[in-house]
């Protein structure tokens, strides 16, 4: 492995997180390098998995997804099979944008994005309630989004 992660790599990642469509020429200019080394580094960062993928980030309201819910879920069965089965079911629910296994008084935290409360009800009744071993479910709703960042801050990373 020859990846010594330097300042230039960090600069590339920082800039591409903010705008994935910067050309190599532009990156080279901003990082005071020429195009070829930038090209090589970007490819290496992709191949080594630093960059997972490039995504268009949409405006949630514009596409009619105005409601965001955070849903805390407890499961009845905490065996390995129980948890695995739960995960597989949850992944299939397209409205679930994020799902985490958590410490604390509940087991899973879900971020669910839908059009309105009617659609949330449908997800709860038709999809979530049908998952095996579901226990207590508690819902919290987003009043307003104050910050939603996809870019990690890398400034103090070595």
Partner DNA sequence: GGTGAAAGGTCCAGAGA
Partner DNA sequence: TCTCTGGACCTTTCACC
Tell me if 56 contacts a second copy by CB under 8 A.
yes
Nearer to DNA, 32 or 52 (CB): 32
Question: Interface with DNA by CB under 7 A: which range of 2-10, 69-77, 97-105, 143-151?
Answer: 2-10
- Would you give the binding string for DNA spanning residues 5-34, x where CB under 7 A is met? ---x--------------xxxx------xx
Which of helix, strand or coil describes residue 2? coil
In eight-state DSSP terms, residue 35 is H
The CA R_g of the chain, rounded to the nearest whole Å, is: 21
Tell me if 99 contacts a second copy by CB under 8 A.
yes
Residues touching DNA: how many (CB under 7 A)? 16
Q: Which of 137, 79, 143, 105 is nearest to 127 (CA)?
A: 137
Q: Determine how many CB atoms are found less than 10 A away from the CB of residue 147.
A: 4
């Amino acid at each position: 492995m020859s990846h010594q992660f330097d300042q230039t790599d960090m600069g590339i990642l920082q800039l591409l997180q903010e705008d994935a469509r910067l050309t190599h020429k532009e990156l080279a200019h901003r990082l005071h390098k020429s195009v070829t080394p930038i090209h090589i580094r970007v490819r290496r960062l992709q191949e080594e998995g630093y960059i997972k993928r490039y995504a268009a980030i949409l405006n949630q309201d514009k596409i009619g997804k105005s409601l965001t819910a955070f849903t805390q879920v407890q499961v009845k069965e905490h065996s390995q099979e129980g948890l695995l089965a739960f995960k597989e079911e949850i992944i299939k629910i397209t409205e679930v944008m994020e799902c985490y296994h958590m410490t604390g008084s509940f087991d899973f935290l879900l971020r669910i994005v839908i059009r309105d409360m009617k659609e949330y009800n449908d997800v709860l009744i038709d999809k979530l309630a049908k998952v095996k071993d579901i226990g207590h479910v508690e819902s919290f709703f987003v009043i307003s989004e104050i910050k939603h960042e996809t870019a990690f801050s890398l400034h103090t990373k070595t």
